[in-house]
Amino acid sequence: MKLRSVLLPLTALLYLSAAARAGEIKITYPSEGDSMPSIKSTFIFGNITPSTASFYINGTKISVYKNGGFIAYLPVSEGDFVFKCELLDGVTAAYLRKIKIRKSPQTQVYDGLRLELVTPPGDLDLFPGDFVNVQAVGTPGHTAVFTIKNLVKDAAMNELPPGSGRYFGVYRVKDSDEAEDSELTVKFKTGLFASGAYVKSRGRIRVLKKLAIVETSTDTVILRNGIDSGYMMFLPKGVRLVSDGRTGGSRRIRLSSSETGWVDDSKVAAADAAFVPQNETGTIRLKKTDAGSSASIYMPYPAAYRAEERENSLRLTLYYTKQHTNWVIYDSSDTFIKQVRFYQTGENTAVVDFEFTPGSELGGYEVYPGTRSLNVDFKRMPSVAGIWPKPLAGLRVVLDPGHSPKLLPPYDGAVGPMGTLEYQVNRVTADKLKDTLSSLGATVYMTRHGDETVQLTDRPKLAKDYKGDIYISLHNNAIGDGEDPFAQPRGFQIYHYHRHSYGLAGAIHRSYVKNIPLPDEGLRFGDYAVVRLTSMPAVLVESAYMIMPEQEDLLNTPEFQQKLADTIAGGVLDFFKVPPRPVKKVKNE
């Protein structure tokens, strides 16, 4: 009995010792069963215990940060793929993370020849004069031709550059062409009557005989310069547009004789009437406001418009519109708008220029429809007294801690190797920045006060409701599947969208360069909703990369969080040209 009483504690001790030596592997990303695009390599990150153990994934030794976090960039293969993770050197652990790598698009193969159609991607609605651009890839060094039923047969395609396997052809629709549901095919010719490979288009081609009239069906409908290209304008609900073509899920909009745009087909509907009503500008009324000025342009119908900030002015280009303004009514108390000019620049295109008084600077604007009018609110660039100890007194700052809580993958925002979620870090940094700015006299509002969910489109609306003077959206970064995290230095990025936001973004960027010990990835233009839809100087900061173990570690330290807050606040002070804090003189005794 005595021996037994001694052996039992000893056995327990040995068990605990073995457990202490046992290793642990946690994979934070990718998640089990994730499906990724067709890529050759991708990154994987997580953490191990103990951090000093030798760690291997698929036979490659992985560098591990001091806290156990790691990120690796490794080759993968199509189909079901497994990352085999192993700890060695005195501690043992093994873990398998299974993912799927999607296969590359399938090509047609005939007698060893392959052929794949790249464009057109889907249905095409065309007018006479339009071009059908045909592109295919396949086995190099062959003769390729394309056929469009009822339009053209065996039209030659060129291999450019020779031997590349990339084949290009083009057909211009004629006035006499008729096609309602025509199929496009591409083939290799190997003889007079034989073809070596053959592929059909996924969509059909129609030749239109009349224009289509559509109407925007939701608010903030986006018109782009091209399919999947940059933004041109944002239109409210109920604006009629002329459509003269369609490809896949995008519809071409004819704005004028020289301008076209593209809109998602799901964002417009067939208009009740078969014509676009001829809009015209009427009386323009100006009025002084607390923030700057406002303008109301009489227009009988919802307008298709584009706003453009210019040097000391704002230009509105109005489509399907005749200039018919006989009166401009100025507000004698308004010292912001100096003059309004208007022109007819095309058969159905009018321009209205709002010129600001010398020394005035636009700090934001909002264009919105009214009852038989198009309205513009102009905001002066905000200013501060600049007097210490409260140099930012009177400034209304809106802080936006990016993203919202989502505790299971896929997360809303980035995640780090140790499992840190971006929304958490953004909120902690925002709290510290709020305290810092408040101590300087600013009134600070938050788009997210805790762990509540705030929709992306609601954040600019909150900024407007708070009557913010400046807007700062706080984020931290990640990269896309397949990117190499070590291909370039990873650090901070500062974004703006509008011209009136460039100065604030530049000041904050200079403060980051001076104070944050991470690589500078530059001051950038960025088409992010929160800085595009805000009517005030607005910036989005990406302070660090959550996925890099050492940067995730920094972001979790109170000292670095405060350094970020002080750095952003310093940029705000510089933007408003606040002089340095006075140094108190010490009296000699």
Per the omega criterion (within 30 degrees of 0), is the bond before 30 cis? yes
- Asked whether residue 332 falls in the same domain as residue 457, the answer is no
Nearest alpha-carbon partner for 291 in 481, 93, 68, 469? 469
The pLDDT value given to residue 7: 35
Query: Do 549 and 441 belong to one domain?
Result: yes
Whether the Cβ atoms of residue 263 and residue 337 lie closer than 8 Å to each other:
no
Q: What CATH number should be reported for the domain holding residue 266?
A: 2.30.30.40
Q: What does the block give as tokens for 270? A: 């067939």
224 in a structural domain: yes
Q: Which two tokens stand for residue 255?
A: 């704005």
Are 296 and 437 in the same domain? no
Same domain? 337 vs 416: no
Residues 151 and 255 occupy one common structural domain = no
Q: How far apart are CA 493 and CA 477, in angstroms?
A: 9
Is residue 174 one of the residues assigned to a domain?
yes
CATH number where 332 lies = 2.60.40.3500
471 and 373 both lie in a single domain: no
Task: Looking at the structure, tell me whether residues 447 and 476 fall in a common domain.
Answer: yes
Compute the distance between CA of residue 34 and CA of residue 472 in angstroms, rounded to an integer.
33
Per-residue confidence (pLDDT) for residue 203, from 0 to 100:
86
Burial of 9 from C-beta contacts in 10 A (0-12 / 13-18 / 19+) = exposed
Residue 588 lies in a domain: no
Give the end of a domain, one of 380, 404, 438: 380
Q: What is the pLDDT of residue 586?
A: 67
427 contacts 441 by C-beta, under 8 angstroms: no
| 182 and 52 inside one domain | no
Distance (Å, rounded) from C-alpha 257 to C-alpha 240? 17
Angstrom distance (rounded) from CA 529 to CA 538: 11
Give the end of a domain, one of 101, 134, 166: 101
Within-domain flag for 385: no
Note the pLDDT of residue 18. 41
Note whether residue 4 is domain-resident.
no
Q: Which residues contact 404 (CB under 8 A, 6 or more apart)?
A: 412, 423, 448, 451, 452, 453, 454
Q: Is there a single domain that holds both residue 537 and residue 414? A: yes
Q: Which CATH number do you get for residue 477?
A: 3.40.630.40
Instruction: Tell the burial category of 460 from Cβ atoms under 10 Å away from its Cβ (0-12, 13-18, 19+).
Output: buried
Q: Are residues 54 and 88 in the same domain?
A: yes
Task: Name the token pair of 91.
Answer: 């501690």
Q: What is the CATH number of the domain that holds 164?
A: 2.60.40.10
C-alpha to C-alpha distances, 346 to 160, 256, 326, nearest whole angstrom = 39, 8, 19
* Pick from 219, 293, 212, 222: nearest CA to 254: 212
Domain membership of residue 317 (yes or no) is: yes
Residue 136, CA distances (Å) to 265, 351, 431 in order: 26, 43, 54
Neighbours of 436 (CB within 10 A): 20
What pLDDT score was predicted for residue 25? 97
- The pLDDT of residue 193: 53
pTM (two decimals)? 0.86
Q: In the structure encoding, which two tokens stand for residue 144, read together?
A: 């390729």
Both 176 and 308 in a single domain?
no
- The residue out of 77, 101, 125 marking a domain boundary is 101
Query: Is residue 584 assigned to a domain?
Result: no
165: in domain: yes
**Mind listing the pLDDT tens digit of every residue in the chain (589 residues)?**
333 333 334 333 333 344 445 799 999 999 999 999 989 999 999 999 999 999 999 999 999 999 999 999 999 999 999 999 999 888 889 999 999 998 765 555 666 688 888 888 788 989 888 899 999 998 899 899 999 999 999 999 999 999 999 999 999 999 899 998 899 999 998 765 555 688 888 889 999 888 889 999 998 899 999 887 888 888 989 999 999 888 878 999 999 988 999 999 999 999 887 788 789 999 999 999 999 999 999 999 999 999 999 999 999 999 999 999 999 999 999 999 999 999 999 999 999 999 999 999 999 999 999 999 999 999 999 999 999 999 999 999 999 999 999 877 888 999 999 999 999 999 999 999 999 999 999 999 999 998 899 999 899 999 999 999 999 999 999 999 999 999 999 999 999 999 999 999 999 999 999 999 999 999 999 999 999 999 999 999 999 999 999 999 999 999 999 999 999 999 999 999 999 998 877 666 5
Domain span including residue 348: 279-380
- Tell me, yes or no, whether 114 and 97 share the same domain: no
Please tell me the total count of domains within the chain: 5
Q: What are phi and psi of 431, to 5 degrees?
A: -60, -45
